[in-house]
Structure 1
């Protein structure tokens, strides 16, 4: 937005300092003049017309003093304002650098913990989060492009085979095309779900996490039976606030992830809900192979899969826990992944308790 040019803050502060010093000087000289004009000092011999003589002698001195105060106030005020505004200049330069696309720059303002230091530290924190967010978005876009390109490339190859060999089994090609197309649709829907949750474009309403946990486990019971995994659900009424559809998706993803990344034929999944001070808690825990802490820390990144724990028929699109993390953050919650000593994972989602 175009704005008319104005005086700089430094210049206005300089005028303020000089004006304040000049006013103080005028008041001091006025008080001195009143004192000399109205008080009879002991031992002072007063001549007729002494007041006018004192005024004639006092006025030039007062003018010199006021001129000195004005010059000193302007010079000193300019230097003092420049020193006081130096941190603001560093913050402004950092803002312009960030606006040009460089998010790695930090102010790192030295000095005491004053208002400027708090502002600089807050700006550095914002830059760090923005840099991490942009880097994550860039990785996400690159991974999404790669993941979406894969089914398209497979479809093209299948069509090329069908065109080059008209006698090839059409049913086999159609079946493989159907599977590839289904995977591409699932990936696209997952990307749209992440975008919707990330933008927080949903209406908050009262939700009971215990009911969502029961619904998710009932829906995925056939899958658990197929993998011969035991589902155990427990907990108390757990009120929360948010989108029932998104929180159901979060719970379903966690239970699905716990089923397919488990010990086939002898695994167990525990789904529990509960209330802590100020938080509604959902915990999904599963048996499985040992998970290294460094691997667990990356599983919520988009398209990161624990390939050594994934069954080939349920590899997924690599967005299950990424969706869970996005939905949890959209509800101002936290997601914690903890490897179990005996193998498998314990995943805990904490959401803010609804306001009374």
Structure 2
């Protein structure tokens, strides 16, 4: 059983969970960095979590929803107070309304997660602090202790899969809802290198090309919120020209950007693309959450081979750009 102790201290207003795992600290850290792994244990088995945002940097924010057996939904968020890569992090952990805004009628806790190496692997310690005894009792009555014990009890299986995750780094897609898609890819390069590769026009032209045989004659990058960007592709023989354009809504270099995206020459509504870069063991995890205006458009775009094109581009990024950096 991975969870070794669960200690509730009403005097200190804390709840401390300790787990022991037979994997290196780096593997344990990756489980928290990757939303695909995190959502497999941040929620009891009957209330699995889905993360739609995960900015694991100081000042960043994560958003998730847990879904019950009868379709009930409970939203939550983390605000990162501090992040010590590979060693731990501290968050404000709260409940949220359906639109993602904080629900101030329910208690917020402060959770500190520490990871440390042991003789047999690694140790995980999560210490949650409560604002008052009443808040602690309210959350206990809601089943917090039982829930966190059941949720973290799933980590052994998740950690066993991390070796496969590290070996199989290809682009993966997850359908989060009828209109929201999450694309992830582990890249062999630092966060700074991957960020630069997305924002230096000369570098972008070398890798963001999809399948072989395409060029990018137009590459206009937006670097400040409110600016517009434009990408145009065409075949090497000049045929098949098309492009995308949009606006940069948010940017926090070198880990997060939010843009709109629309095919040039069309009148339909744009998608919203949220890209997050997270350092992991051996490289950077790219996460792109795409919100489509309709399910039909989502299916239409996925049906074009978008994911295969992204994988071809990311592979080119590793082999032609980052390998030479």
Q: Which has the higher contact order (CA 8 A, sep 6+)?
A: 2
Which one has a larger percent strand, Structure 1 or Structure 2? 2
Q: Is the pair's TM-score, using the shorter chain for normalization, greater than 0.5?
A: no
TM-score by length of 2: 0.25
User: Bigger radius of gyration, 1 or 2?
Assistant: 1
